[in-house]
Amino acid sequence: MSKRDYYEILSVTREVSDSELKKSYRKLAMKYHPDRNSDDTEKAEKKFKELNEAYEVLKDPQKRSAYDQFGHNAFNQSGGGFGGFSGASNGFDFSDMFSSIFEEFSGDQGSVQGRRRRQSSMKAQGEDLRFDLEIALEDAFNGTKPEIKYSTYMGCTDCSNSGIGPEGKILECVACQGAGVVRQQKGFFLMEQPCVSCQGCGQTIQNSCSSCSGQGRLRKQRSISVNIPVGVDDGMRIRLNGEGEAGLRGGSSGDLYIFIHVLPHEIFQREDKNLFIKAKIPMITAILGGTVDVPTIENKPVELVIPAGTQYGKSFCIDRKGISSIKGGKRGDLIVEMHIDIPQNILHEQKEILEKFEELEISRKSLDEDQDNKPPKGKSGSSKKGKRKKKSSLFNRSKKVWGAARTGIDWMNALIFRMHPIFNRINE
């Protein structure tokens, strides 16, 4: 019985690309897999074997070229082509077939050389580490260089990080023959897992270092100095290359990441480059105005002028008394929010002054209301006499109130200035 054309078996044309050939093979292999055709296993196995035989030839450029020229005769021992190919013999080995399928789906080729591509070096890079560092706001402003201590793997000095003892050497793993993986066939499936003898590296050490048990590293306490730049902010991280865990058997070291946590300050609050502070001022200073000393982050108080009539919550900006940015540029500002200090206990004389102030305030408001209710000139319907009398009455009343107010204000100011030390002494 003549054999079917390999291109026909794989449902492709002779001009098919390698990627399309592989795609078609995978699709048909899944379709005719014996486990997916339990109702007609014998037919599925025959079809499956036929697909595998065709793909083994067409995926190889040399074999495909020979097949295109000589057909099936290129692989018969009597045909003078590629000898030794027994894909069409009755003694077809399903182990080789499924091995080939497994390798195809995993990107390998099934040969010893292909398996060796899985082999990894005995060296392995060390892990990255994290260290959380708490600093004060003053340290963020000035910059600092603290010393930190942490536990990590460090290179073994007895074996120079190699893990090999004085008379030791590196050998190929006997269990996996240097492949780094071992295979077990279960039915139609070929299972593959890392070799437990060499941990998947394909090599073992004969007479390993006794100090590090062949690891090339030991866990130790380490101490290093960290340079914290000016302007660092909460949540920032600093990366130190090569300061993490030492690599396995001479592998490169990981990195150390320093995560910055700026502790809350007693009086300052920070937002980016600006600092905020709440300043308490005496009630008299808020009313009459004055000056107050405001603390700064560099511990050098600044005198701030408080205008008369300053209200609670009003903010003043002191230029360039904040924090510098880690990127450089202009320094931030200091924002001062006014909080008026109201005395809880006052003297009798102070109480009299405040009561007199309240009376004067009521008189001032009453006079303002009368002025607002005064009718516009020329629109009143009353007689001249009535106008003159009303005007005279209003004038006398205003004169009386303003005279009392002016006298009271002068008297009050004199007492306030005289009692100013008393207020301050109570506030203290």
Percent of the chain whose pLDDT exceeds 70: 75
The pTM assigned to this predicted structure is 0.58
- Cα 79 to Cα 59, 60, 70, 72, 84, distances in angstroms: 21, 19, 9, 9, 11
In a domain, 123, yes or no: no
Residues 243, 211 within the same domain: yes
pLDDT of residue 318: 97
Alpha-carbon Rg for the chain in angstroms? 47
In a domain, 121, yes or no: no
pLDDT of residue 22: 87
Residues 147, 239 within the same domain: yes
pLDDT of residue 391: 45
Asked whether the predicted pLDDT for residue 261 surpasses 70, the reply is yes
Q: Which of 262, 286, 301 is the last residue of a domain?
A: 262
Name the band, by pLDDT with cuts 50, 70 and 90, for residue 409.
Answer: very low
323-351 residue pLDDT tens: 999 988 899 999 999 999 999 889 999 99
Residues 138, 239 within the same domain: yes
pLDDT of residue 130: 95
Residues 134, 219 within the same domain: yes
CA dihedral sign, ordered 192, 195, 201, 203: negative
Asked whether the predicted pLDDT for residue 182 surpasses 70, the reply is yes
Q: What's 96's domain CATH number? A: 1.10.287.110
Q: What value does the mean pLDDT take over residues 312-326?
A: 96
pLDDT of residue 176: 86
Give residue 303's domain range: 269-341
Residues 283, 162 within the same domain: no
Residues 367, 332 within the same domain: no
Q: What value does the mean pLDDT take over residues 311-316?
A: 96
* CA separation for the pair 364, 428 (Å, rounded): 33
Q: What's 317's domain CATH number? A: 2.60.260.20
Q: What value does the mean pLDDT take over residues 131-145?
A: 97
Q: Output the CA torsion 295→296→302→303 (10° steps).
A: -40
Name the band, by pLDDT with cuts 50, 70 and 90, for residue 196.
Answer: confident
Average pLDDT taken over every residue of the chain: 80
Residues 173, 245 within the same domain: yes
43 against 260, higher pLDDT: 260
Residues 28, 62 within the same domain: yes
Name the band, by pLDDT with cuts 50, 70 and 90, for residue 377.
Answer: low
Residues 162, 216 within the same domain: yes
Asked whether the predicted pLDDT for residue 101 surpasses 50, the reply is no
| Beta pairing, strands 274-282 & 334-341 | parallel
In a domain, 289, yes or no: yes
Cβ atoms of 280 and 336 closer than 8 Å: no
271 against 392, higher pLDDT: 271
Residues 135, 153 within the same domain: yes
Say which range, 61-70, 115-124, 221-230, 246-255, has the weakest mean pLDDT.
115-124
Q: How many structural domains comprise the chain?
A: 4
In a domain, 124, yes or no: no
Residues 148, 258 within the same domain: yes
363 against 277, higher pLDDT: 277
Q: Which of 262, 283, 299 is the last residue of a domain?
A: 262
Q: Which of 214, 235, 262 is the last residue of a domain?
A: 262
Q: Which of 98-107, 136-145, 350-359, 418-427 reaches the highest mean pLDDT?
A: 136-145
pLDDT of residue 94: 43
33-61 residue pLDDT tens: 877 787 887 888 888 888 888 888 898 88
- Cα 163 to Cα 133, 154, 209, 250, distances in angstroms: 33, 13, 5, 8
Residues 141, 227 within the same domain: yes
Name the band, by pLDDT with cuts 50, 70 and 90, for residue 420.
Answer: low
Percent of the chain whose pLDDT exceeds 90: 45
90 against 270, higher pLDDT: 270
- Sole residue written with tokens 């408080």: 306
